[in-house]
Structure 1
Amino acid sequence: MGPKKVLSAEEGDDIKKSLEFMTEEISAVKLQMKAILDLVEEVKALRIQNAEKDRRLAYLENRVADLEQYTRINDVIITGLRIKPRSYARAVAADNVGGPGEEDVNSTELQVVTFLRSKGVEVDYNNIEACHPLPRKNDSDKPAIIVRFANRKHKTALLKQGKKLKGSDVFMNEHLTKRNADIARKARYLKKQGKIQNTWTTNCKVFIKLNGTPEQAKVLVIRYMEELDKY
């Protein structure tokens, strides 16, 4: 080996400056890395917070939807029934209804009860708390009519007689919220396509019955539209 090269003072200073510069750069990189890691941890924490907020929001939205549906639990929606002006209702004999006098009854209520009884549908006038057309976009003489009963058993008793209206183009259904009505509509579409065996609503809950053998044909309650996507 040859003789070792002796660095000059100038070269030594350059190397020292280079090392100092590299040390400063490494320190700066370390600081930047720490800042990046801190930001990553902050992002993780925010994601967790957002996920928790999303879960909380979803819970509250579902709670509101359940409460909204509960307020309609005693309602029946009647569609396809032609409603006459009030003057016509007063011309209908009150004894066909078995309720109070003509001047005290609501026109829509009187016509609804009279029609139902004409079809053999049993309904007690005294169990009805309210009866009126729902808001509509046009002046149709066949608006959807809401009938609110004093309790759920009277509503259920009326709906069980729905078959007596067959052929009249008048239908009785539960008063579903928009969300549940959309779920029920999709479930009926799946039934029409043969992808499920049957669907119905009870106490404003949407049920479906799956295809297959008796062991496979389970009955499920559907609360969310996404639950139908698999079918």
Structure 2
Amino acid sequence: MLCHRCHAECGDGVQCTSCRNYYDYPCAGITEAGYKKLGDRKATWKCGGCKAGAISPIQIKSNQSKTSTVDMETIHQELKKLTKQMSSLPQLVATVKTIQSDLEDLKTMKNEMSDFKESLNHVHVSIDDLVSRVAELDQEMQSLKNTRDDISRLERRMEKFEINMREMEQRSRSNNIEIKGVPVAASQNLYSIISKIGIVINCEISMSQINYIASVPQRGNKSNKNIIISLHNRYLRDEFISAAKRFKILTTKDLGLGGDGKIFINDHLTLENKQLLNKAKTLAKEKKFSYTWVKNCTIFVRKNITSPTFAIKTEKDLKKIF
């Protein structure tokens, strides 16, 4: 039913026994519980207007007419409002569709973000693996560096050891003299050759001063042999070699052996020092060094008479000097 005062639909209410209009409990000014407590007095309940006692049947009819007119105007206004509200419904629907589309986009973005997060996690794992591998490589590099350092130390020790061995071998020859260019027959007495050389260069050596004499084949030329003399006294060796240098050019003719082949008397160098001497002579010629000589089994070079003298013991010395 429709409330006479507020015109609202109500499921339950009260009816005025005078004007016969229906009212909901709030408009009737009574609660539902209070109305039920009236009992038999419900048959005499009147609305507030009827209680005033001044309403005639004509006034009631007039009021009902006015009420109907007001109700129509109210309904018309409500319809206008409803129509106005309905006019914005398409826009509202479009907005809702837009929101739904945005929600779909957000859902897609959420999925993409999830994929990106998974990819990023994979990248992090890959980076961790790479960092771990780099750390392993760094350890390997450090190990290789330590190994290289150990090898360098061993190489230096080996080089020093080889130098010491060469020096020891050369020192063992410190009393020796090497004579090249003397034709030696199988039956020839080597001491007689040494004695003849001593007479020619004016530095004779007695047999008691000789430790041993031997003929040694030349490297790469076994038909020609060098004579090696080992003396008991190094000073006698130096004197014999100096006398030969002063004689300038000694030939086989001077010894009565025929021919005019040159004879060379020098320190008895090791094979390594002989090779080092040849390299020194070659470089000295290229770099215009005027002097290259051997004294006490040590190689010396000098650019000119006023320049300093350099001793050469290893190939490193050649690199430093030339």
Post-superposition offset of 1:23:
2.5
Match of 2:154 among 42, 46, 53: 53
Q: Which residue of 2 aligns with 1:26?
A: 127
- The alignment-based identity, stated in percent, is 22
Q: Which residue of 1 aligns with 2:39?
A: none
Letter in 2 for 1:111: I
Q: Which residue of 1 aligns with 2:193?
A: 111
8 Å Cα contact 2:201-2:243 kept in structure 1 = no
Q: Considering fraction of residues, name the structure with more helix.
A: 2
* Distance verdict in 2 for CA 1:36–1:221, change over 3 Å: same
Letter in 2 for 1:17: E
* Distance verdict in 2 for CA 1:12–1:184, change over 3 Å: closer
Q: How many residues align?
A: 207
Q: Distance in 1 between matches of 2:113 and 2:284?
A: 87
Q: Which residue of 2 aligns with 1:134?
A: 216
Q: Which residue of 2 aligns with 1:92?
A: none
Q: Distance in 2 between matches of 1:13 and 1:189?
A: 78
* Distance verdict in 2 for CA 1:41–1:220, change over 3 Å: same
Tell me the secondary structure at the aligned position of residue 29 of structure 1: helix
Match of 2:118 among 10, 14, 17: 17
- The superposition leaves residues 78-121 of structure 1 with CA deviations (integer Å, 9 ceiling, x where unpaired) of 112232443xx5xxxxxxxxxxxxxxxxx322332234325533
Confirm whether residue 179 of structure 1 aligns to residue 262 of structure 2.
no
Tell me the secondary structure at the aligned position of residue 206 of structure 1: strand
Q: Which one has the largest radius of gyration?
A: 2
Tell me the secondary structure at the aligned position of residue 144 of structure 1: strand
Structure 1, 63-72 or 220-229: larger mean CA deviation: 220-229
* Aligned-pair Cα RMSD in Å: 2.8
Letter in 2 for 1:151: N
Q: Which residue of 2 aligns with 1:219?
A: 309
Q: Distance in 2 between matches of 1:68 and 1:171?
A: 22
8 Å Cα contact 1:121-1:164 kept in structure 2 = no
TM-score (norm 2): 0.57
8 Å Cα contact 1:165-1:171 kept in structure 2 = no
